[in-house]
Structure 1
């Protein structure tokens, strides 16, 4: 299986396991900059050079050898399940993508027809009941994850722990798991543990939110989207994420972690 979703700088200063919707665009650009002294011109996910990626065949042997031998500092980044699933909804379901089309072609029309999800019309510009529509989307997410129907779960809403675990199961070891909500602290710790060809000044790094502007703005506080049933579904789907990454299931309004991540626990529980 190898190391899907794994990126590595060309200098092999650091290895990063990408988790969708967890600051991956900004992290990728920081890694690119740390090698080249400039940012990639475009969405870093589109870069086919300047950064080793498991999805690039010529990079696989280099990543495999590095990770198997734990030659470089390795890290990943996680996010509160409540804000991550909302971000996926507004970006991937309600938003028009970079190619000018809906995400995954017939996915949104199917959600409209089978689940009654409203996305603001064909162009995504009309007003709609965001809370009602999101809760119906959440039922669809549960169906994809629990029963793999009407489709397999998408990487943008499959559990963070699932992404994180493939790296461990296939022989990798994390030196750091950082929180999106404490990005500067986490990224500063990563950078302090590695030697890069170009120095990175975190204070001057822009945030590369490639999904911003794809969809409508969230009109309500996070907690308004989650009633008792929605919270029950969230726990059913993301229980391991809440527990392992120390997020507050009881209070959707609290996006910050409520404990420290235990790397030994994560390697033990996700390495089976």
Structure 2
């Protein structure tokens, strides 16, 4: 299986396991800048040079040797499951993507037909009942993850623990896992632990949000989208994420973690 979703700087200063919807665009650009002294011109996900990625065939041997030998500092980043699934809904389901099309072609028509979801019209700009549609989307996300119907789960809403575990199961070990919610503090730990060709001041780094402007703005506070049933569904899907990355399941209004991440616990539970 190797190391899907793994990126590494060309200098091999640092290795990062991408977790979708967890500041991955910003992290990738910081890695690119640390080697080249400039940001990639465009969406870092589209870069096919200047950085090693598992999706690039010529990079795979280098990444595999590095990760198995733990030659470089390795990290990943996580996000509150409530805000992550909400972000996936507004970006991937309601939004128009960079290529001008709906995400995954026939996915949105399928959701409109089978689950009665509204997405704000052809361009995502019409008024619609965001809460009702989001809760129906949550049923769909649960169906894909629990039963792989009506399709396989998507990387943007499948559990973070699943993404993070492939790295461990195949022989990697993380030196650091930090929270999107305290991004600068967590990323600074990474930068302080590696030798960068170019110095980075995190206060000056722009936030590269590839989903910005794709979909409608969230019209309500996070907690308004989650009633008892949707909280139950979220816990069914993301129990390991809440437990391992120390987020507050009981209170969707609290996006901040409630304890420190225990790296040994993560490796023990996700390495089984």
What is the TM-score of this pair, normalised by structure 1?
Answer: 1.00
- Following TM superposition, by how much is the alpha carbon of 1:123 offset from its aligned partner in structure 2, in angstroms? 1.6
Partner of 1:260: 260
Matched, 1:177 2:177: yes
Partner of 2:207: 207
- Following TM superposition, by how much is the alpha carbon of 1:121 offset from its aligned partner in structure 2, in angstroms? 1.0
Give a deviation string over 1:95-137, Cα, whole Å, max 9, x none: 0000000000000000000000000111211100000000000
Partner of 2:77: 77
SS of the aligned residue for 2:75 comes to: strand
- Following TM superposition, by how much is the alpha carbon of 1:222 offset from its aligned partner in structure 2, in angstroms? 0.1
- Following TM superposition, by how much is the alpha carbon of 1:191 offset from its aligned partner in structure 2, in angstroms? 0.3
Matched, 1:60 2:60: yes
Give the distance between the partners of 2:148 and 2:261, measured in 1 at CA. Answer: 30
- Structure 2 stretches of 5 or more lacking a match? none
Q: How does 1:6-155 map to 2 (within 5 A)?
A: 6-155=6-155
Give the distance between the partners of 1:51 and 1:135, measured in 2 at CA. Answer: 38
Give the distance between the partners of 1:191 and 1:87, measured in 2 at CA. Answer: 27
Q: Give the superposed CA RMSD.
A: 0.3
- Structure 1 stretches of 5 or more lacking a match? none
Matched, 1:192 2:231: no
Give a deviation string over 1:156-190, Cα, whole Å, max 9, x none: 00000000000000000000001000100000000
Partner of 1:243: 243
Aligned length: 272
Partner of 2:166: 166
Give the distance between the partners of 2:171 and 2:126, measured in 1 at CA. Answer: 48
SS of the aligned residue for 1:203 comes to: coil
Give the distance between the partners of 1:12 and 1:104, measured in 2 at CA. Answer: 33
Give the distance between the partners of 2:157 and 2:203, measured in 1 at CA. Answer: 30
Give the distance between the partners of 2:189 and 2:123, measured in 1 at CA. Answer: 42
Give the distance between the partners of 2:229 and 2:140, measured in 1 at CA. Answer: 14
Give the distance between the partners of 2:121 and 2:14, measured in 1 at CA. Answer: 43
